[in-house]
């Protein structure tokens, strides 16, 4: 959620009108992994939350808009969102250094907010379930706007 995140850029795998999927490789080493926990390094869960949050923000900036919705959104669109609540956060298993991690977010839009269900997984299965709520408008705290790069066509 800050420029100092060990996640680096997230890779955009898929995006659509109601969600997106990103991926990243858990850092293989470094102070975050080495210190959590000594002798049994795992990626701290807060970075799984960050990955889901950054996926939502990327979706909001680049989401495909249905033609009938484009007229309502206006020329600017509504691309800013702010995280207002985490209604659920359940960690199922650890993420180990070097794991490939996928954040799959599904969004439901209401008049006032975005309701997000996020499933975070590795090749060993689901590692976290999240339920997040966002309001439309700028994030007053300046967090979560790290880059997401699109998957290459190769």
CA distances from 146 to 58, 80, 90 (A): 9, 14, 24
Per annotation, catalytic residue among 36, 133, 135, 136:
36
Sign of CA dihedral 139, 150, 133, 92: negative
Question: Residue 15 contacts by C-beta under 8 Å, 6 or more apart in sequence?
Answer: 21, 58, 59, 62, 63, 64
Distance CA 89, CA 20 (A): 19
Known catalytic membership, residue 92: no
Which DSSP symbol is given to 37? S
Question: Which residues belong to the active site?
Answer: 36
């Amino acid at each position: 959620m800050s420029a100092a995140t060990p996640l680096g850029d997230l890779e955009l795998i898929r995006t659509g009108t109601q969600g997106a999927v990103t991926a990243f490789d858990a850092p293989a080493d470094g102070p975050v992994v080495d210190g959590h926990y000594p002798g049994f390094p795992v990626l701290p869960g807060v970075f799984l939350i960050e990955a889901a949050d950054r996926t939502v923000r990327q979706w909001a900036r680049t989401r495909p808009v249905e033609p009938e919705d484009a007229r309502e959104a206006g020329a600017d669109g509504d691309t800013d969102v702010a995280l207002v609540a985490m209604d659920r956060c359940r960690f199922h298993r650890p993420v180990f250094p070097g794991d490939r991690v996928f954040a799959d977010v599904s969004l439901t839009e209401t008049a006032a907010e975005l309701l997000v269900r996020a499933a975070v997984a590795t090749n060993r299965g689901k590692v976290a379930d999240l339920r997040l709520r966002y309001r439309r408008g700028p994030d007053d705290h300046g967090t979560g706007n790290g880059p997401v790069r699109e998957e290459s066509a190769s």
